[in-house]
Amino acid sequence: MDADNASTGNPPSNPGRLRPPHTQVTADDLRRLMEAPDDRATLVLAAGRIELETDPEAAAQSLAVITRGELAARIGTTPDPTALGTQVAELNTEIRLLGS
């Protein structure tokens, strides 16, 4: 098996930098978004993958899921795990309803 076919069950050696591609929002995605310094930072669905985009122009080229500012307005800047879980479910439902 080559490195390109690594199982997503095996975490990368540097999990802060390299993340396996995924098509659904996770609580970790929302935590990373909340840690972004700019309220315009955006979780996007690009090429079938959830990504954090800090450049508003680049984010406009993908399907915006939620911005840091929008997320903070929904659940505050220091959300508890329950609020994160609720948002994960709501955002994934929104993505499914869009047909992505």
* pLDDT per position as a tens digit, 74-87: 999 999 999 999 99
CB contact at 8 A, 65 and 8: no
Query: Closest by alpha carbon to 75, among 65, 60, 86, 64?
Result: 86
Q: pTM surpassing 0.85?
A: no
Low-confidence residues of the chain: pLDDT under 70: 1-20, 100
In angstroms, the CA 53 to CA 36 distance is 10
Note every long-range contact of 92-100, with CB atoms under 8 Å and residues 24 or more positions apart, other chains counting: 92/24, 92/25, 94/65, 95/24, 95/25, 95/45, 95/65, 98/63, 100/23, 100/45, 100/48, 100/63
